[in-house]
Amino acid sequence: MSEETVVLKVFANEIDAKMAQDVLVGEGITAFVFKDDGGGMEPHLQRTRGVRLVVKPVDAGRARQILEPLFSI
């Protein structure tokens, strides 16, 4: 991604991050999930390093409003 991004929340696992991403995509907001778990070979690293949910800065305010009631952003 060449544009600047904003990390909305760091989740403890990929499942929660993907659920939040799906909610945002359903609302028309492009969101990405980034994780470093050794390509899935070291899933425990998600808990120590976290799984980041990222959006464009222009979408950050609206994304927070959408996710706040669901995920305590």
The model carries a pTM of 0.82
pLDDT single digits (tens) 28-72: 999 999 887 656 566 666 566 789 999 999 999 999 999 999 887
In sequence order, the 6+-apart residues with CB closer than 8 A to the CB of 59 are 24, 29, 30, 31
In this structure, which amino acid lies at residue 9?
A: K
CA angle 36, 56, 45 (to 5 degrees): 10
